[in-house]
């Protein structure tokens, strides 16, 4: 999770929401990293999880990430939860819950939906306070008068 937090901090350089992710293979080696790049690259799919999954798939030379663990600082949204299920990631570890967009228990529970053909193990709340602090600080700096959060 500390590597994912470092990626999240690096997202700040592109004025992106500080979310970071890493993919570990069966031996625990890092095979993909990612951070939010939506602002920096103008890409709506530039979520840390998607960036890390793409990097891991490129490292492996295939889209199936069986045996891998995705570690991310914030609970994945529906897009990212769907992507990790489709990539056949075996384990998801995340930091802070996302009460507004979370799809791993907060609003939805995509990864544990029995109708899907793959359901990863989930470990939640790892270094959650560190992730939450990064996010709270970011949004406190980006709030405009009369608005609840930056878009």
**98-146 residue pLDDT tens:** 999 999 999 999 999 999 999 999 999 999 999 999 999 999 988 744 4
Give the model's confidence band at 150: pLDDT under 50 very low, under 70 low, under 90 confident, else very high.
Answer: very low
Helix, strand, coil percentages in the chain from 3-state DSSP, rounded to 5: 40, 20, 45
SS3 of residue 121 by DSSP: strand
Active site positions, annotated: 49
99 CB-contact burial (10 Å; exposed 0-12 / middle 13-18 / buried 19+): exposed
Cα diameter, the chain: 49
Per the annotation, binding residues for Zn(2+) are: 47, 77, 80
The CATH number of 1-140 is which of 3.40.50.720, 3.40.140.10, 1.10.10.60, 3.30.420.240? Answer: 3.40.140.10
Is the distance from CB of 57 to CB of 65 less than 8 angstroms?
A: yes
CA 97, 102, 105, 106 torsion-angle sign: positive
Q: What global pTM score does this model have?
A: 0.92
Q: pLDDT digit string (tens) for 27-74? A: 999 999 999 999 999 999 999 999 999 999 999 999 999 999 999 999
Domain boundaries, the chain: 1-140
Measured between alpha carbons, how far is residue 111 from residues 53, 138, 144 in Å? 16, 28, 35
């Amino acid at each position: 999770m500390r590597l994912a937090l470092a990626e999240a901090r690096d997202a700040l350089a592109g004025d992106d929401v500080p979310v970071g992710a890493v993919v570990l293979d069966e031996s625990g080696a890092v095979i993909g990293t990612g951070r939010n790049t939506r602002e920096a690259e103008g890409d709506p799919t530039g979520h840390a999880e998607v960036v890390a999954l793409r990097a891991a798939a490129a490292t492996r030379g295939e889209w199936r990430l069986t045996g891998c663990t995705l570690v991310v600082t914030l609970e994945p949204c529906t897009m990212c939860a769907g992507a990790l299920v489709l990539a056949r990631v075996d384990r998801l570890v995340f930091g802070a819950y996302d009460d507004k967009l979370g799809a791993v228990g907060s609003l939805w529970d995509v990864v544990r939906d029995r109708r899907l053909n793959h359901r990863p193990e989930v470990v939640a709340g790892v270094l959650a306070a560190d992730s939450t602090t990064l996010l709270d600080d970011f949004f406190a700096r980006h709030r405009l008068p009369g608005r609840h959060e930056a878009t």
